Amino acid sequence: MLAQPGSDFLTNSAALCDAVLRLRGTALTEELGRILRAVLNSPLGEYIPADAAALLLRPPIGPAQAANDDAVPSLSQDLYFDQHFFGRFVVSGRTAYSDLDRQHLSSLASLAASVLQVHSVAQRTTHAYVQVEAQLQHQAQILDQIHESVLTMDMNGFIISWNKGAERLFGYTAVEAVGRNILFLYDDEDMGFHDAFLEQGGRLMEVRRKKKSGEVFWASLSLSPLCDINDRSIGLIAYLTDITERKMAEERIHHLAYYDALTGLPNRTLLTKLVDQALMVAQRNKAHGCVLFIDLNRFKMINDTLGRHIGDALLVEVAHRFRSVLRDQDLVARLGGDEFAVGLFDIGQHFEASMVAQKLLATLNTPIFIDGHDLRVGGSIGISVFPQDGGDAETLLRLADIAMYRAKQEGGADGDHIAFYSQDMNQGMQERMRIETGLRNALGNGELLLHYQPKYSIPDGKIIGAEALVRWRHPVRGLVPPSEFIPLAEATGLVVQVGEWVLETACAQAQVWKDAGLPPIRLAVNVSAREFTAALPGRVSETLKRYGLEPTWLELEITESTLMHNIDRVIGIMDRITALGVTLSLDDFGTGYSSLSYLKRFPIDTLKIDRSFTIGIPEDTNDCAIANTIISIAQQLKHKVIAEGVETEAQLAFLKNSGCDEVQGYLFSKPLEADAFERALRENWLPNSGYRAA
């Protein structure tokens, strides 16, 4: 009689499941063999894993297939599940096995194969999960090490993730920020989340945001779409960088460019822009407009007698009085010195301008008390009218200026007077025509010459270059001041021919000095806006080749006004010039239209501090602040700085302490003729030649 299995099948099935879950390797193999013996009530039985060498040597045995009847009775069963082979059960040691034994063996093999399959899938899933989790942790670490603030949000603006950079920038932890709507970071004036960007992406903007402390700051915000695995937009990725310092620097430069540092009024540049805008509106409305040019009487005497401090305070008070009698929509600006301008628009008849002019003069009737001084000034006012006198700001200012001189002539040195521009005032233009004709002849008659003002390195006092300055030696009048013919050359276009002559003459002189063995120096040549065309780089290159000069001998000085029209075209020209090896210097920095957003794009080597800022150093705190700001900006942008108009040791000491690199001015040398400059250069480069450094 055959022995029946002595163990409960269900109990051993549970033990098998538990073994597969808990055990690995040899321990699992032995436990499965034990369970096999228990189920079949057999003294011998084993589980052979699929990768065991012994199993690979045996032919596979089908389910419940017995061995040869002549051999020792045994049973074997392969473990298969969904074509996956997991091993074999082999049992022996009994005299015979029944069909029931074979059924138990088949059931046990089927159960074991299914449990091993489930466990295998679970292991692979767990391993994949661990890998994904490790990758996510790695990416999170990288994201947290990025200095930039990175956060994600859903389509409704609710924050999904928040990196360490965002914590540092805003002051909120991820726990405090995640789940909240992005609007809690907005400044009050910047509310509203909906944006057409949500479906497009790639937008870059400058925004105001609010920190946990309540501080509002400027940030550069870049948005990118957050997509799911099907590339559908499910939210936004935001990258933020604090740009508050840059915005403040831009505001300072903007103020320097557009506002008078002393009075806070708009300067000529801003006035011109605003007047031109107002004229466009007036033209559409067929309205009148007027420009008033005001020059103070007796101011120069007060300034020269009592000092600049008193003169500056007087100008501030005059500016305040002018502003107090004008409407909000009227423009008032300080043009420089004791000259002011007023723009009147939205007026019914042009004669109303004379009423406003009378009000302005009336404000000067009351004495001005400054530091115990009872000061009295008057004014002369010239008025030009739109549209009859001109159609743009520069024309109206120019004609109002002519009218102001007529008012000053008619009113006397101390008399207040008002004059409208009239055609007969153009008679004074005859002198200008005479100068223009003479200048044209000077170009062909060899009457122009160059003087060279040395530029000095502050650290060692060596001459490192010179600015080439054009002079006109008239056969009758003698040396004509540049202030008389340069503005005229600019206005008539003759500056192009003059500029070509200066470049040619400077390079010819540099060749002479090079052949004489002088050390290489940079000769700075001023380039006007009219000269700054696409043809300029080619002309510079050809001139250098013609005289056999290395590009290091030449530097081009460009004024800010040259750079503010068609920026991309200007940058293209500048890049072509610097590609030659010729350096560029930005002249009169801070007096015109200055913008860091443009300045950082220009391939400029040097910024030049205008003499209008240098002259007040170190007594004038405003001039000191402006000079320091320009030097700081240049250092940040890795530009050199040169100050012109240095005339005192105190100015030099201040500039040296502020980090200025180079200087030029009468403290060192006036502009020299070529021979005199050569002697100065040779003496300066001799050992122990002396230096005025403070």
Tens-digit pLDDT profile for residues 154-196: 988 899 888 888 888 898 988 888 889 988 988 765 554 444 4
Q: What class, spelled out in words, does domain 147-189+201-248 have in CATH?
A: alpha beta
Which burial class, exposed, middle or buried, applies to 437 when counting CB atoms under 10 A from its CB (0-12, 13-18, 19+)? Answer: exposed
Q: Across residues 455-474, what is the average pLDDT?
A: 90
Contact 659, 635 (CB under 8 A): yes
Per-residue model confidence (pLDDT) at position 581: 92
Q: Was domain 259-421 assigned CATH 3.30.70.270? A: yes
Per-residue model confidence (pLDDT) at position 480: 83
Which of 177-182's residues contact partners 24+ apart within 8 Å by CB, and which partners?
A: 177/151, 181/156, 181/157, 182/151, 182/153, 182/157, 182/158, 182/238
In this structure, the number of other CB atoms found within 10 A of the CB of residue 187 comes to: 13
Tens-digit pLDDT profile for residues 524-547: 999 887 888 888 999 999 999 999
With left for phi above 0 and alpha for psi between -120 and 50, is residue 346 left, alpha or beta? left
Question: Helix (H, G, I), strand (E, B), or coil: what is residue 92?
Answer: strand
Per-residue model confidence (pLDDT) at position 556: 92
Tens-digit pLDDT profile for residues 235-246: 888 888 888 888
Average model confidence (pLDDT) for the chain?
82
Least Cα distance to 602 among 554, 625, 570 occurs for 570
Q: What angle do CA 467, 470, 472 make, to 5 degrees?
A: 155
Tens-digit pLDDT profile for residues 615-671: 889 999 988 998 998 899 888 888 999 999 999 999 999 999 999 999 999 989 899
Amino acid making up residue 414: D
Instruction: Check residues 90 and 59 and name the one with the higher pLDDT.
Output: 90
What is the percentage of the chain residues whose pLDDT exceeds 70?
84
Query: Angle at which helices 567-579 and 536-546 pack, to 10 degrees?
Result: 20
Q: Is the pLDDT of residue 425 over 80?
A: no
Tens-digit pLDDT profile for residues 536-579: 999 999 999 999 999 999 999 987 666 655 678 888 899 999 99
Q: Is the pLDDT of residue 13 over 60?
A: yes
Greatest extent of the chain over all pairs of C-alpha atoms, in Å: 150
Where in the chain are the domains? 9-53+73-124, 147-189+201-248, 259-421, 439-685
Least Cα distance to 272 among 385, 388, 394 occurs for 394
Q: DSSP letters of 157-169?
A: SBEEEE-HHHHHH
Per-residue model confidence (pLDDT) at position 69: 47
Q: Which fold has domain 439-685?
A: TIM Barrel (3.20.20)
**Confidence (pTM):** 0.43
Alpha helices of 331-464 — where are they, by DSSP H? 352-363, 393-411, 429-445
Per-residue model confidence (pLDDT) at position 63: 47
Q: Across residues 423-441, what is the average pLDDT?
A: 67
Q: Is the pLDDT of residue 357 over 60?
A: yes
- What span, in angstroms and rounded, lies between the C-alpha atoms of 526 and 498? 10
